[in-house]
Structure 1
Amino acid sequence: MTITVDCSDKEQIELEEYIDFCRSQTHLSDRDRVLSDAYMLRRLANNKRFFLDFLNGQLRRVLQYDVKTDFTPPSFYLFSCDTFSVRAVLWLPCDEPDSEDATSLGYGVTHNHHFDFLTCGYYGPGYRTIVHLCDKRRMTGLVGEQVETAFQDDTLLTPGKLMFYRHTEDIHVQYPPESLSVSINLIFPSHPEALEQCAFDPETWVITRHLDPMRTTTGLFQVARLLHNEQTVEQLQAIADKHCHPRVRSMAYFSLLSILPESKADLLRQAGMDSSSFVRKLFASNFS
């Protein structure tokens, strides 16, 4: 079953320190050793500064190219190598948890994974997750197949909480948090014994489809509206001024309008003088 790790460590470390620690380990395929070292991920999650620094760095890179990430909800790889990856996942609030928008943010889809990963709550109240267990030895992973499951847990991934998910057999579904939440993941490569990553009908436990990785760049701008500082505003303004793609400039404007409502008139005036008719018409129609 999914394992909740009991840990109350209060020490803080930097992202680079955690990456160096993981790179020095020779036992990342040994689950017991990974669980015994889970306190190090908790120490990273205790550092409430590093992720905002990372987000602002990503915004700086947008001026050069579109930042691409995979999986939904919005996520960002903090580090990746052949043996592990460190990923931050953004859980955005959603007023209608059963809507298409909620699905696009990763909510309400009952699924498993084709890799093991350790996760820790980092910021915000945490998303709700319901976990079921299946016997991977008795399934083939084909669409239309019905699997036997057993309820395991209904819980919140609150700050500092550690959970280890096993490939194929730990089936779970997430629901929107009350406010922006962030989790930090230690992810391992696809397991050689893993089946296809699947979505399930939670009423019948029939496999409905296979899940493919998805790419998103808009998540970075969505998060900037909710989690930002002065550097964030500076980067967004630079993107609105200089980025070569009109759609990216428009996303920066929308984020700035959300962060700086007192500057609405100046921002709309600036958008109204944009070189692209797409941007000019978009803001004229939205704020006329």
Structure 2
Amino acid sequence: MPRELKVVDPVPLSLEEYVARLDEAGFDPSDERSLINAAELLAGLAANRTFLGDILIEELGCDRSAPEATAYGPQAIMLRPPANGYFLRANIWPARGDPAFQSSGAGSFVYGLPHDHNFDFLTVGYFGPGYVSDYYEYDYESVAGEVGEQVDLRFVERSALSEGRVLHYRAHRDVHCQHPPESLSVSLNICAASPAQGWFDQYQFDLDRGAIAGVLNASANEVMLRLGVALGQEDALALAAEYADHHPSAAMRRVAGELIPPHS
């Protein structure tokens, strides 16, 4: 399951202080010192009990027609757009009895959708009891990524992201199935951001069958290749054949192989 990083008595930080310190030190989740530093900073931001509410109130008073006011959604609030290898966001998790859940349904908030991630990230419980997760682990290198492929999912535990709890979700290893919190909750995330991430699959899993149920992150290149082949473009079919044999991305090789007719 995600690794828990203990932070004792974090010093409250403003969002500006957090960004400045993380930009200065950098965020490399493969480096232990960088990971610990980022966890301490994230805990410091979470210890600031007013910054997020202040931001939301300020945004509500802004001109919503302004072009720059586009990073805010119904669940995810972008606090720092991708830069220097990371981005920061706040996620809002409604409870079953909240109007947002009742009107939009569980799927709108990724509840009940077992999945992994194709990037590392740190998360901390900021407000409320926190969403509950069933945690699993698996070996990404052992799977080809085919829908229906059997996967050795190993159940670890069920637990909640309580206030102040910092977890490190490891790319292509940690799988979780989230469930609504007992009451409205908020988490903060530092997410690694790399141009290479788009070439690696993120999977949805079928826990009952222990299998891959789907790929969640179709890339723009995959979509264009599928469209080209579907439209009957001979060049697209030839490109799919080439990609199936030689593309450096395993995900693209698999997709291209699916597009080649059996007789080709």
Please indicate the TM-score interval, normalised by the length of the shorter structure: 0.7 to 0.9
Runs (5+) with no aligned partner, structure 2: 219-264
Match of 2:120 in 1: 116
Matches within 5 A, 1:251-270: none
- Counterpart AA for 2:87: S
1:229-264 superposed Cα distances (whole Å, 9 cap, x missing partner)? xxxxxxxxxxxxxxxxxxxxxxxxxxxxxxxxxxxx
| Residue 54 of structure 1: how far off its partner (Å) | 1.5
Q: Which residue matches 1:281?
A: none
1:92 Cα deviation from its structure 2 partner:
0.8
Q: Is 1:129 equivalent to 2:133 in the alignment? A: yes
**Letter of the aligned partner of 1:133 in structure 2?**
E
Asked if structure 2 preserves the Cα contact closer than 8 Å seen for 1:114 and 1:191, the reply is no
Contact 1:114/1:190 (<8 A) preserved: no
Q: CA deviation digits over 1:213-233, x for unaligned, max 9?
A: 9xxxxxxxxxxxxxxxxxxxx
2:136–2:156 Cα contact (<8 Å) kept: yes
Question: Within 5 A, what are the aligned runs for 1:193-208?
Answer: 195-208=200-213
Q: Does 1:151 align with 2:152?
A: no
TM-score by length of 1: 0.67
Corresponding position of 1:51: 52
Q: 1:89 maps to what in 2? A: 91
Is this contact kept in 2: 1:27–1:33, CA < 8 A? Answer: no
Contact 2:116–2:172 under 8 Å retained in 1: yes
Give the TM-score normalised by structure 2. Answer: 0.72
CA distance in 2, matches of 1:212, 1:138: 19
> Contact conserved, 1:118 with 1:185, CA < 8 A, in 2?
yes
Cα distance change of structure 1 residues 166 and 6 upon mapping to structure 2, 3 Å threshold: same
Alpha-carbon distance in 1 for matches of 2:115, 2:86: 22
Letter in 2 for 1:140: A
Aligned-residue sequence identity (percent) comes to 33
- State the shift of 1:57 in Å: 3.0
State which of 104, 109, 132 in structure 2 corresponds to 1:105. Answer: 109
Letter in 1 for 2:94: L
Residue 93 of structure 1 contacts residue 178 of structure 1 at CA under 8 Å; is this kept in 2? yes
Question: What is the count of residue pairs matched by the alignment?
Answer: 211
**Range 144-153 or range 1-10, more displaced:** 1-10
- In structure 1, what is the equivalent of residue 229 of structure 2? none
Cα 1:99–1:206 change in 2 (3 A) is farther
Partner letter of residue 216 of structure 2?
L
Q: Which residue of 1 aligns with 2:20?
A: 20
Inter-partner Cα distance in structure 2 for 1:26 and 1:10:
19
Whether the 8 Å contact between 1:91 and 1:180 is mirrored in structure 2 is yes
Unaligned runs of 5+ in 1: 214-288
- Distance in 2 (CA, whole Å) between partners of 1:4 and 1:161 is 7
Match of 1:41, as an amino acid? L
